[in-house]
Structure 1
Amino acid sequence: MIWKRAVTLEALNAMGEGNMVGLLDIRFEHISDDEIAASMPVDERTHQPFGLLHGGASVVLAETLGSVAGYLCTEGEQKVVGLEVNANHLRSVYSGRVLGVCRALHTGGRHQVWQIDIYDQHSRLCCSSRLTTAVG
């Protein structure tokens, strides 16, 4: 197990209240020994003007997953902040919910690198993102 903090899905979802995570209805769905997953709706909150999932919304989901995963890999008063995020948008999504799955590529003492893949309701890869965080 890579997580150093004990957590439940209920606690993760409560963290989203009163911020962008809650506003976009991002819901943590799954946590295992080495990955974490959350879903997000594809609707008027996350659409771009042409009626499909906004790339920025995909990045919000990716950064949410990577930042929370990074926090779970720290201890005590340590904090995690994003340094760099990128996203390759591979497939358009018009409705439903997307699922982001986050896995660690590197969990060092000063930096972390997270791979976040976002899938549509048919399990097709829609976005591949990578987040680098600093641990302080």
Structure 2
Amino acid sequence: MTTPFEDSPATDISLWKITLGELDEKMGVKITEESVQRVVATMPVEGNRQSFGLLHGGASLAVGEAVGSWAAVIHASTLGKTAVGIDVSATHHRSARQGQITITATPIHLGGTLTTHEVLIANESGQRLCTMRITNLLMDKRK
């Protein structure tokens, strides 16, 4: 059996590795785990707060979309494809004023055309701050 990666044996699949973008670096994102089944990152609350001293909802959405998209691209890489986000939704349950948050993306659906991931954002006590769902379209890589 071969894969789309230049006829290499299926056991030699090279998964895409996460590279932080400029915004991710400015937000202080750190990757702690990356696989098709789970991507985990952390981010400090400090530096990502809004004017009332709370974790900015936009910061939660930005990091959640990044982690969910990274998870989709890792899956897409097993098919010789890439992924682009087409839908994201979020519910904010509570906020944080300090500490570090953990962002975890797990697959709901891993297809050949679409992926959907649940992204959970939790505080250091494990309390859920935000629940997100992101859907990505899998596309052939541009040459």
- Give the TM-score normalised by the residue count of structure 2: 0.81
Alpha-carbon distance, 1:107 to partner: 1.0
1:92 paired residue among 77, 92, 95: 95
CA distance in structure 2 between the partners assigned to 1:32 and 1:49 by the alignment: 36
Segments of 5+ residues of structure 1 without an aligned counterpart are none
Corresponding position of 1:16: 20
Identity %: 27
What's the CA shift for 1:5?
A: 3.9
Q: CA deviation at 1:29?
A: 1.1
Q: Distance in 2 between matches of 1:89 and 1:30?
A: 24
Stretches of structure 2 that go unaligned for 5 or more consecutive residues are 1-12
**One of 15, 36, 39 as aligned partner of 2:39:** 36
**Following the alignment from structure 1 to structure 2, what is the Cα–Cα distance between the partners of residues 22 and 5?**
25
Letter in 2 for 1:16: L
Q: TM-score, normalised by structure 1?
A: 0.85
With 66-75 and 27-36 compared, the bigger mean Cα shift is at 27-36
CA distance in structure 1 between the partners assigned to 2:37 and 2:103 by the alignment: 14
Q: 1:124 to 1:135 in 2, by over 3 A?
A: same
Count of residues in Structure 1 that have an aligned counterpart in Structure 2: 126
Q: How does 1:53-132 map to 2 (within 5 A)?
A: 53-75=55-77, 78-132=81-135
CA contact 2:34–2:71 (8 Å) conserved in 1: no
Partner of 1:46: 48
| Distance in 2 (alpha carbons) for counterparts of 1:122 and 1:93 | 11
Alpha-carbon shift at residue 116 of structure 1 (Å): 0.3
Q: In structure 2, do the counterparts of structure 1 residues 87 and 25 end up closer, same or farther at CA, with 3 Å as the change threshold?
A: same
